[in-house]
Structure 1
Amino acid sequence: MDDRIEKLKEINILISSAISKSNKFWFEHVLPSQMSLPLFEKAEAQLNAILKDYPTDTNFWRMLCNVKTYTMDYAEAITALEKVIVLENKQKDKTQLLELMEHKDVPKPKAKVKITKSDSLQRALPYFKYHPEPTVTGAFETGTVVTCDCCKKPTDIYYTNPFFAVDEIEALCPWCIADGKAARKFEGSFQDDINVDDINDPEKLKELVERTPGYNGWQQEYWLAHCNDYCAFKGYVGWQEIEPLLDQFADIESDLAKAGGLKLTDLPNYLRDNGSCQGYLFQCICCNKYRIYYDFD
């Protein structure tokens, strides 16, 4: 007897766990949350491996189709389901294929959150008080050597998030951001100084808008403050990411009301990482309390 039954159970549990963490519905055109993507990738790798041994097993092809549907790889999902139909020719699969075909031209959006690491980076990254983990949040990209538009030096870690300037800027290295050189050279800013909380220290505002990597919102980005200082941007979140932190927020109901009027009880139904209602998590650098902002696509 082969190992297909046990493998089927194992992969099914993995896929169910990924779906439960995905923060999306079937055929909802948003990416799964970052918590679920590694699980989907693991399931796909296991399915591809076992399909090499059992290429005519329709159960595994159907599971691969489901994984690819959730990750919005619709063309690959269609290919997997077409193999099932060739092998079994069942009406339920044909019906699902028709539904899939309606979504085949939907573009897969670029993930906002990227966990990146540069193996070839020679210099230690500068520290940004208001954005302490810019590679984790995706503010900096790695993996390709580009030329910094400011210092004209090659860099394998570079900024591609919002930068408000007259000139069209494609890439900036972290060091030109940290010392303010990029903002001075291009007379630009990384955050609109109107869309920030009010504090009574112009030097802190200058550090935020001129020497801090920004984040990428659906609409106009807004930066929160607490304890008379700007908060640190922690990343993109949905309900699943903030639910364990609810007792650590300064005043989440007030934050929700100011951002657009959602109530705390609305968040399980609306707030999703990489979803139509995107959350942006901040943390006070003085008392460590969390604050949240959100917007819609």
Structure 2
Amino acid sequence: MGELDGSLRLGKIGFLNVLPVYYALEKGLIEHPFEIYEGSPSELNRMIAKGDLGISAISSLEYGCNYRKYLLIPGLSISSVGKVKSVVLFSDHPVEKLDQEGILLTNKSYTSVHLLKLLFSKFWEVNPCYIRDESSSGFHFYKNYPAVLAIGDDALKLARGGKFRYQYDLGEAWHRWTGKPFVFAVWVINKRIMASLNGHMQVAYDALMAAKKFGMEHLTDIALEASSENILPYTECLEYFKQLRYDLTDEYLEGLELFFSYLVETRLLPEKPLIHFFPGS
């Protein structure tokens, strides 16, 4: 695979959805140069922006906000074509009845919050009140609100819990609105870190691609092991992994660029980001 002096810090989102990419790396089944650090999407966004991580999975919005700092890793994302299952608006009321109602926003993700705001303003045409409660990071706090945006493992648990009468999958809503896939997360390299790798970034890229390939070929084994975390039973976990998309094709990039265009139009982004890849595909 080649040589890479020292270890390269790789950010891992602390949710079930990235397991097919990281499983082979963490089990030592693929030779790699990484020191893996796990955190929430918002935490990883901050760390890679500061240069505390070399490569990481990050919110697609973080790339949009700071694209000059990053290069995208080709062929790797967390996306959906329709339902994503783990980015969900839970509500006691139908979405059309949420005008001026309070909605608790997750503090773990930027992309999902901005997607929700777009859907309300342009698709559902409803004007709710958004609540950010930094103390509400725990699963048990959700019962205090009539509607909440939950992501990742929290969303999977809430969906099975039956507390809320209505569930709106944001990947499905985006697809119904635009007909496009939605890219929730991408993998990027910090340009400043890349400059210090002396041309050895290809080693890291090859390891990520090999790990992804292993994961796609062993989803049943990974789902079986993941079911022991008591987030989803085996059959639902396998269905979840199969429903997610881990590629970053031209079709997915069209969805990503459309998302960015809407954010610029609604002044949630100051400019349209440019798409720049690490030249290792």
- Bin of the TM-score, shorter chain as denominator length: under 0.3
Q: Which has the larger radius of gyration?
A: 1
- Larger helix proportion of the pair: 2
Larger RCO (alpha carbons 8 Å, 6+ apart):
2
TM, length-normalised to structure 2 = 0.24
- Larger strand proportion of the pair: 2
